[in-house]
């Protein structure tokens, strides 16, 4: 069986759609649900396993699942140094650095404040993309939309979460550093379309690189051979975290990145709290308050402003001809 060859950079169009269509919005919403569900799976797993071991199992099992999909679909496996160097760069920016900084920061600050700080990712992305990408310039409407969406996240998570600002400054800076790393990852990941790498292969390469970097650290720090055997519920959560919230999620991530760009992709950071809260209400029976509805409305308004279509002036209707 012959495999399709990787396209040369000059043969691949790197154009993106500034305004997302129904398919891109559906993919973004699905991605937010997959990542929103990761909080539930992690919540189960932390009862038996330390954080670094969970992260390595997450990316390692996701890598196995993704390479199985690559082989089943007959996609080309890149062998060049440039592509694999890019995989490692993406793994560092999108997994190793943010996972490490955010986990370290959450040891000191509350999860609500960490979620709000992490929601600055689209703000960073708008600025970085405007500076580094010619086709993702920041418009005034986009800046307003990102700001309104960020305020929606604050309202939905709760204004009391901001009470921790000023305490644990280094931990807060660490979480902001993780958000900044996510923003750079989104911009950096645009190169895979130029390199002609399939999104599924890109996802597999990224989590493989992350596994190779993080596994030695987990072995040294957590000493997994000394841990008590995890429960069946923990293993089920780890598998779901790896397959659904990592493997499937990153396939969507790189698809959206190729089609709609870094700025539109990282709007998912606004939608993750919405998905997490709705899942909590549907699955765990948690109650929704008016602040959740207000926050979701602000996020929706912000996303509509960033998309821009609802705010475009319609051309005047042509005058009717009179007999």
Q: Tokens for 278?
A: 């709705």
Between the CA of residue 136 and those of 130, 155, 275, what are the distances in Å? Answer: 6, 28, 27
pLDDT at position 91 is 94
Distance CA 192, CA 54 (A): 28
Tokens 């931990």 map to which residue? 171
DSSP H helix total and E strand total for the chain: 14, 0
pTM of the model: 0.80
Are the C-beta atoms of residues 67 and 307 closer than 8 Å to each other? no
> Which regions in the chain score pLDDT beneath 50?
1-11, 323
Q: Decide if 104 contacts 51 (C-beta within 8 A).
A: no
Check residue 195 and give its pLDDT: 87
Residue 97 CA to chain centroid, in angstroms?
A: 14
Q: Over the stretch 63-93, which tens digit does the pLDDT of each residue have?
A: 999 999 999 999 988 888 899 999 999 999 9
- Token pair recorded at residue 269: 């950071």
Token pair in block for residue 34: 């997959």
pLDDT at 313: 58
Q: Look at residue 241 in the predicted model and tell me its pLDDT.
A: 92
Two structure tokens written together for 159:
């204004």
Alpha carbon distance 323, 309 (integer Å)? 36
Q: What is the pLDDT of residue 114?
A: 77
Dump the DSSP string for 205-231. Answer: HHHHHHHHHHHHHHHHHH-GGGSPPPP
């Amino acid at each position: 069986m012959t495999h399709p060859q990787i396209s040369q950079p000059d043969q691949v169009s790197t154009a993106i759609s500034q305004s997302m269509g129904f398919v891109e919005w559906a993919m973004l919403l699905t991605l937010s649900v997959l990542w929103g569900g990761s909080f539930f799976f992690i919540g189960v797993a932390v009862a038996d396993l330390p954080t670094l071991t969970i992260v390595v199992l997450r990316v390692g099992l996701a890598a196995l699942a993704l390479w199985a999909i690559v082989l089943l679909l007959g996609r080309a496996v890149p062998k060049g140094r440039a592509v694999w160097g890019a995989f490692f760069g993406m793994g560092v920016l999108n997994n190793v650095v943010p996972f490490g900084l955010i986990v370290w920061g959450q040891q000191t600050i509350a999860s609500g404040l960490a979620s709000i700080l992490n929601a600055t990712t689209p703000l960073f992305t708008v600025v970085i993309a405007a500076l580094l990408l010619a086709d993702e310039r920041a418009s005034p409407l986009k800046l307003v939309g990102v700001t309104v969406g960020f305020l929606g996240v604050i309202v939905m998570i709760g204004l009391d979460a901001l009470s921790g600002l000023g305490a644990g400054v280094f931990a807060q800076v660490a979480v902001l550093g993780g958000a900044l790393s996510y923003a750079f990852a989104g911009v950096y990941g645009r190169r895979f379309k130029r390199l002609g790498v399939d999104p599924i292969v890109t996802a597999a390469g990224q989590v493989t690189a992350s596994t190779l970097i993080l596994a030695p650290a987990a072995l040294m720090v957590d000493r997994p051979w000394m841990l008590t055997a995890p429960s069946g519920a923990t293993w089920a959560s780890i598998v779901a975290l790896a397959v659904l919230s990592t493997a499937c999620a990153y396939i969507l991530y790189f698809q959206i990145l190729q089609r709609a760009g870094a700025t539109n992709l990282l709007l998912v950071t606004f939608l993750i709290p919405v998905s997490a809260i709705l899942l909590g209400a549907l699955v765990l029976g948690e109650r929704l308050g008016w602040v959740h509805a207000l926050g979701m409305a602000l996020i929706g308004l912000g996303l509509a402003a960033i998309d821009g279509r609802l705010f475009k002036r319609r051309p005047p209707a042509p005058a009717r001809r009179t007999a």
